[in-house]
Amino acid sequence: MDPGSDATGLNSATIGIENAAGDDGLEVVYNAAYMHNNMAIDFTVVRWLWVEPSGGLLEPFTSTNVTVNLCAKDLTDGVFEGQMSITTNDPLNPAYLLPVTVTIQDFICGDADGDGNGPIVPDLVYLVNYLFKGGNPPPVLAAADANGEDGDLINVADLTFLVNYLFKSGNAPICH
């Protein structure tokens, strides 16, 4: 990393990647002292969406099943957007982009108030306030669906399930 006769040469460089057309890119640094000897920048892609099979041909008037895979194991909390591209030989509709959005939200099953400490007694109080006194809904509905039977519908059965768990050695919460 020798700037040669231009002592500020490394301070006026742009570092990043872009596509072949030069119209889409990712900038790492612009006009700043960033690079130095023995440094590398690693660009990686987290593969969270894929289709199997990834391609193929269909005869006219036939169909096939494809499997859409979503894997969140390497994702952090947040909203992730992608798309699936379907191409055809239809001159009126040669391509169709199907948007895919996934929201990742880590939670503790039974933690109705979302404070990260549940399930504990304040979670019961939170659910009572929500169900019977017009209180705020749980920040993560799936965390409050403690009996795991209602598809994120929060009701008295979830409250009863948590009471049994906390005070009667009942089963641990089951969230989906």
pLDDT digits (tens, 9 = 90+) for 146-159: 998 877 689 999 99
Q: What is the DSSP string of 44-62?
A: -----EEEESS-----TT-
* 163-173 pLDDT, tens digit each: 999 999 999 99
Confidence band for 9, pLDDT divided at 50, 70 and 90: low
What local confidence, expressed as pLDDT, does residue 149 receive?
82
Q: 91 with 66, same domain? A: yes
Q: 64 with 100, same domain? A: yes
Confidence band for 103, pLDDT divided at 50, 70 and 90: confident
HSE of 93 in the Cβ direction (CA atoms, 13 Å)? 4
Report helix, strand or coil for 159. Answer: helix
> Which of 104, 131, 146 is the last residue before a domain boundary?
104
User: Residue-wise over 114-149: b if at least 16 C-beta within 10 A, else e?
Assistant: beeebbeeebbebbeebbeeeeeebebbbbbbbbbe
Report helix, strand or coil for 91. Answer: coil
Q: Domain count of the chain?
A: 3
Confidence band for 105, pLDDT divided at 50, 70 and 90: confident
> Which of 104, 134, 151 is the last residue before a domain boundary?
104
Residue 67 sits in which domain range? 49-104
* 122-152 pLDDT, tens digit each: 999 999 999 999 999 999 888 999 998 877 6
Sort 112 into a burial class: Cβ within 10 Å, 0-12 / 13-18 / 19+.
buried
- CB-CB neighbours of 161 under 10 Å: 22
| Confidence (pTM) | 0.48
Here the CATH number for the domain that contains residue 118 is 1.10.1330.10
Helix segments in 19-154, DSSP class H = 121-133, 141-144
Q: 24 with 77, same domain? A: no
> Which of 88, 104, 120 is the last residue before a domain boundary?
104
User: Tokens for 169?
Assistant: 């050695």
62's CB contacts (< 8 A; 6+ apart) are none
Average model confidence (pLDDT) for the chain? 87
Confidence band for 4, pLDDT divided at 50, 70 and 90: low
